[in-house]
Amino acid sequence: MVRVRYTRPGSLLSYLSMNAREIAGLLLDAKAVKISFDPPFTYSSGMRAPIYTDNRVLVSLVKERDLVAEGLRQLWKSLGLTGEVYFSGTATAGIPWAAILADRTDMPMIYVRPKPKDHGTGKQIEGSLPAGREVVVVEDLVTTGGSSLGTVAALRGEGGAHVVHLLAIFTYGFEKMYQALDEGGVELHVLTDFETLLDVARERGMIDADQYAKILEYKSDPEGWAAKMGL
Protein backbone atom coordinates (compact mmCIF):
# COMPACT_ATOMS: atom_id res chain seq x y z
CA MET A 1 0.00 0.00 0.00
CA VAL A 2 1.04 3.59 -0.58
CA ARG A 3 1.16 5.81 2.45
CA VAL A 4 0.04 9.35 1.73
CA ARG A 5 0.44 12.12 4.28
CA TYR A 6 -1.72 15.20 4.38
CA THR A 7 -2.36 18.42 6.17
CA ARG A 8 -0.34 21.30 4.79
CA PRO A 9 2.97 21.77 3.00
CA GLY A 10 5.79 20.61 5.26
CA SER A 11 3.49 19.09 7.85
CA LEU A 12 3.06 15.37 8.56
CA LEU A 13 0.14 15.25 10.96
CA SER A 14 -1.88 12.53 9.28
CA TYR A 15 -1.54 9.62 6.90
CA LEU A 16 -3.56 7.16 4.91
CA SER A 17 -2.47 3.67 3.94
CA MET A 18 -4.08 3.63 0.49
CA ASN A 19 -3.71 5.47 -2.80
CA ALA A 20 -5.14 8.99 -2.60
CA ARG A 21 -4.91 9.30 -6.39
CA GLU A 22 -7.36 6.44 -6.80
CA ILE A 23 -9.78 8.16 -4.42
CA ALA A 24 -9.42 11.38 -6.44
CA GLY A 25 -10.18 9.44 -9.63
CA LEU A 26 -13.19 7.85 -7.97
CA LEU A 27 -14.56 11.28 -7.01
CA LEU A 28 -14.11 12.54 -10.57
CA ASP A 29 -15.68 9.44 -12.12
CA ALA A 30 -18.67 9.66 -9.78
CA LYS A 31 -18.96 13.39 -10.53
CA ALA A 32 -18.87 14.00 -6.80
CA VAL A 33 -16.18 16.59 -7.50
CA LYS A 34 -16.32 18.54 -10.75
CA ILE A 35 -13.75 20.89 -12.28
CA SER A 36 -14.48 23.61 -14.81
CA PHE A 37 -12.27 26.60 -15.53
CA ASP A 38 -14.24 28.43 -18.21
CA PRO A 39 -16.98 28.74 -17.29
CA PRO A 40 -16.45 28.39 -13.54
CA PHE A 41 -19.16 27.27 -11.12
CA THR A 42 -21.27 29.91 -9.37
CA TYR A 43 -22.03 29.26 -5.69
CA SER A 44 -25.20 30.37 -3.91
CA SER A 45 -23.14 33.16 -2.34
CA GLY A 46 -22.39 34.49 -5.82
CA MET A 47 -18.72 33.53 -5.59
CA ARG A 48 -17.31 31.82 -8.67
CA ALA A 49 -14.96 28.88 -8.42
CA PRO A 50 -13.29 26.26 -10.63
CA ILE A 51 -14.48 23.38 -8.46
CA TYR A 52 -17.79 22.06 -7.19
CA THR A 53 -18.15 19.28 -4.64
CA ASP A 54 -21.20 17.18 -3.80
CA ASN A 55 -19.97 14.03 -2.07
CA ARG A 56 -23.54 13.18 -1.08
CA VAL A 57 -23.90 11.36 -4.41
CA LEU A 58 -21.49 8.69 -3.14
CA VAL A 59 -23.99 7.17 -0.72
CA SER A 60 -26.12 6.11 -3.71
CA LEU A 61 -23.25 4.35 -5.52
CA VAL A 62 -22.65 0.95 -3.97
CA LYS A 63 -19.10 0.23 -5.17
CA GLU A 64 -17.85 3.77 -4.63
CA ARG A 65 -19.51 3.97 -1.22
CA ASP A 66 -17.78 0.76 -0.18
CA LEU A 67 -14.34 1.97 -1.31
CA VAL A 68 -14.69 5.33 0.43
CA ALA A 69 -15.99 3.70 3.61
CA GLU A 70 -13.03 1.31 3.65
CA GLY A 71 -10.69 4.24 3.12
CA LEU A 72 -12.19 6.05 6.09
CA ARG A 73 -11.92 2.89 8.19
CA GLN A 74 -8.22 2.59 7.33
CA LEU A 75 -7.76 6.27 8.05
CA TRP A 76 -9.32 5.82 11.51
CA LYS A 77 -7.21 2.72 12.13
CA SER A 78 -4.04 4.66 11.28
CA LEU A 79 -4.69 7.00 14.21
CA GLY A 80 -3.76 4.21 16.61
CA LEU A 81 -6.58 4.99 19.03
CA THR A 82 -7.24 2.31 21.63
CA GLY A 83 -10.46 1.46 23.39
CA GLU A 84 -13.96 2.58 22.53
CA VAL A 85 -14.37 5.45 20.08
CA TYR A 86 -17.60 7.26 19.19
CA PHE A 87 -18.02 8.34 15.58
CA SER A 88 -19.89 11.60 15.22
CA GLY A 89 -21.38 12.78 11.95
CA THR A 90 -21.97 16.44 11.24
CA ALA A 91 -25.49 17.07 9.93
CA THR A 92 -26.27 16.21 7.35
CA ALA A 93 -23.57 14.97 4.99
CA GLY A 94 -21.34 13.43 7.66
CA ILE A 95 -24.09 11.34 9.25
CA PRO A 96 -24.16 8.38 6.80
CA TRP A 97 -20.36 8.04 6.87
CA ALA A 98 -20.28 8.06 10.65
CA ALA A 99 -22.99 5.39 10.67
CA ILE A 100 -21.12 3.21 8.16
CA LEU A 101 -17.85 3.56 10.09
CA ALA A 102 -19.54 2.71 13.37
CA ASP A 103 -21.06 -0.39 11.79
CA ARG A 104 -17.76 -1.54 10.23
CA THR A 105 -15.79 -1.08 13.44
CA ASP A 106 -18.43 -2.14 15.99
CA MET A 107 -18.20 1.26 17.63
CA PRO A 108 -20.99 3.56 18.85
CA MET A 109 -22.25 6.46 16.74
CA ILE A 110 -23.85 9.81 17.44
CA TYR A 111 -24.58 12.89 15.36
CA VAL A 112 -24.66 16.62 15.96
CA ARG A 113 -27.40 18.98 14.83
CA PRO A 114 -26.44 22.35 13.28
CA LYS A 115 -28.01 23.98 16.36
CA PRO A 116 -29.77 22.79 19.54
CA LYS A 117 -33.41 21.77 19.37
CA ASP A 118 -35.86 24.58 20.08
CA HIS A 119 -38.17 22.14 21.85
CA GLY A 120 -38.07 19.23 24.30
CA THR A 121 -34.70 18.87 26.01
CA GLY A 122 -32.95 21.34 23.71
CA LYS A 123 -30.23 18.83 22.85
CA GLN A 124 -27.80 19.33 19.98
CA ILE A 125 -26.22 15.87 20.20
CA GLU A 126 -28.39 12.94 19.14
CA GLY A 127 -27.67 9.54 20.62
CA SER A 128 -26.18 8.55 23.94
CA LEU A 129 -22.77 10.03 24.75
CA PRO A 130 -21.41 9.59 28.27
CA ALA A 131 -19.07 12.37 29.37
CA GLY A 132 -15.34 11.95 28.88
CA ARG A 133 -15.50 9.65 25.86
CA GLU A 134 -13.22 9.78 22.80
CA VAL A 135 -15.05 11.07 19.73
CA VAL A 136 -13.87 11.15 16.12
CA VAL A 137 -15.77 13.57 13.88
CA VAL A 138 -16.61 12.45 10.33
CA GLU A 139 -17.22 14.82 7.40
CA ASP A 140 -17.64 14.36 3.65
CA LEU A 141 -16.00 17.71 2.85
CA VAL A 142 -14.04 20.29 4.85
CA THR A 143 -13.84 23.80 3.41
CA THR A 144 -13.41 26.56 6.01
CA GLY A 145 -13.73 24.15 8.93
CA GLY A 146 -16.61 26.13 10.42
CA SER A 147 -19.22 23.36 10.56
CA SER A 148 -16.64 20.87 11.81
CA LEU A 149 -15.55 23.18 14.62
CA GLY A 150 -19.19 23.81 15.51
CA THR A 151 -19.61 20.05 15.88
CA VAL A 152 -16.46 19.82 17.98
CA ALA A 153 -17.64 22.65 20.24
CA ALA A 154 -20.96 20.90 20.87
CA LEU A 155 -19.24 17.60 21.59
CA ARG A 156 -16.79 19.17 24.01
CA GLY A 157 -19.41 21.40 25.63
CA GLU A 158 -22.73 19.60 25.81
CA GLY A 159 -21.15 16.17 25.48
CA GLY A 160 -18.07 16.62 27.69
CA ALA A 161 -16.15 14.60 25.10
CA HIS A 162 -12.47 14.40 24.18
CA VAL A 163 -12.25 15.41 20.51
CA VAL A 164 -9.04 15.78 18.52
CA HIS A 165 -9.45 13.95 15.21
CA LEU A 166 -11.51 14.88 12.16
CA LEU A 167 -11.84 12.43 9.25
CA ALA A 168 -12.97 13.63 5.82
CA ILE A 169 -13.25 12.39 2.27
CA PHE A 170 -12.00 15.60 0.65
CA THR A 171 -10.70 19.08 1.42
CA TYR A 172 -9.72 22.14 -0.62
CA GLY A 173 -6.83 22.70 1.78
CA PHE A 174 -7.38 26.40 2.41
CA GLU A 175 -4.78 27.87 4.74
CA LYS A 176 -7.43 29.66 6.79
CA MET A 177 -9.08 26.29 7.37
CA TYR A 178 -5.88 24.88 8.83
CA GLN A 179 -5.47 27.95 11.00
CA ALA A 180 -9.01 27.56 12.33
CA LEU A 181 -8.52 23.86 13.04
CA ASP A 182 -5.18 24.54 14.73
CA GLU A 183 -6.80 27.13 16.99
CA GLY A 184 -9.55 24.64 17.78
CA GLY A 185 -7.08 21.87 18.62
CA VAL A 186 -8.32 19.63 15.81
CA GLU A 187 -6.25 17.46 13.45
CA LEU A 188 -7.63 16.85 9.96
CA HIS A 189 -7.11 13.50 8.21
CA VAL A 190 -8.34 13.21 4.61
CA LEU A 191 -8.61 10.59 1.90
CA THR A 192 -7.59 13.01 -0.84
CA ASP A 193 -7.31 16.72 -1.54
CA PHE A 194 -7.61 19.49 -4.12
CA GLU A 195 -4.04 19.30 -5.46
CA THR A 196 -4.15 15.51 -5.87
CA LEU A 197 -7.48 15.76 -7.67
CA LEU A 198 -6.06 18.44 -10.00
CA ASP A 199 -3.08 16.23 -10.80
CA VAL A 200 -5.37 13.36 -11.75
CA ALA A 201 -7.62 15.65 -13.82
CA ARG A 202 -4.62 16.98 -15.75
CA GLU A 203 -3.27 13.49 -16.46
CA ARG A 204 -6.69 12.50 -17.79
CA GLY A 205 -6.73 15.48 -20.14
CA MET A 206 -9.64 17.15 -18.37
CA ILE A 207 -7.58 20.33 -17.98
CA ASP A 208 -4.36 21.49 -19.65
CA ALA A 209 -1.19 22.74 -17.96
CA ASP A 210 -2.21 26.39 -18.17
CA GLN A 211 -5.63 25.72 -16.71
CA TYR A 212 -4.04 23.59 -14.00
CA ALA A 213 -1.84 26.50 -12.88
CA LYS A 214 -4.73 28.96 -12.92
CA ILE A 215 -7.10 26.65 -11.04
CA LEU A 216 -4.42 25.92 -8.43
CA GLU A 217 -4.37 29.63 -7.61
CA TYR A 218 -7.92 29.27 -6.29
CA LYS A 219 -6.53 27.66 -3.16
CA SER A 220 -4.57 30.78 -2.16
CA ASP A 221 -7.35 33.31 -2.81
CA PRO A 222 -10.79 31.73 -3.30
CA GLU A 223 -12.74 34.98 -2.92
CA GLY A 224 -10.62 36.95 -5.38
CA TRP A 225 -9.85 34.12 -7.81
CA ALA A 226 -12.47 34.79 -10.50
CA ALA A 227 -11.58 38.49 -10.80
CA LYS A 228 -7.88 37.64 -11.07
CA MET A 229 -8.67 35.20 -13.86
CA GLY A 230 -10.82 37.73 -15.69
CA LEU A 231 -13.88 35.54 -15.38
Q: How many CB atoms lie within 10 A of CB 1?
A: 8
The secondary structure element, H or E, covering residue 207 is: none
Whether 168 is in a domain gets the answer: yes
Please tell me the predicted confidence (pLDDT) of residue 7.
41
pLDDT in tens, 196-221: 999 999 999 999 999 999 999 999 99
Closest C-alpha to 67, from 27, 12, 113? 27
Range in 23-27, 75-79, 117-121 the model is least confident about = 117-121
Whether 1 is in a domain gets the answer: no
pLDDT in tens, 47-74: 999 999 999 999 999 999 999 999 999 8
What percent of the chain is helix, strand and coil (3-state, nearest 5)?
40, 25, 35
Whether 7 is in a domain gets the answer: no
Average confidence score pLDDT of the chain: 90
- Alpha helices of the chain — where are they, by DSSP H? 20-29, 62-78, 95-105, 146-157, 175-183, 194-203, 209-216, 225-229
Whether 176 is in a domain gets the answer: yes
Pairing of strands 109-112, 125-126: antiparallel
pLDDT in tens, 154-169: 999 999 999 999 999 9
Between 2 and 90, name the one with better pLDDT. Answer: 90
pLDDT in tens, 118-143: 887 889 999 999 999 999 999 999 99
Mean pLDDT of 105-127: 92
Integer Cα distance of 107 and 36 in angstroms = 40
Whether 82 is in a domain gets the answer: yes
Please tell me the predicted confidence (pLDDT) of residue 44.
87
Please tell me the predicted confidence (pLDDT) of residue 64.
93
Whether 2 is in a domain gets the answer: no
Domain span at 207? 15-229
In this predicted structure, the answer to whether residue 95 has a pLDDT above a threshold of 50 is yes
Contacts 24+ apart (CB under 8 A), 8-12: 8/173, 8/175, 8/178
CATH number for the domain spanning 38: value is 3.40.50.2020
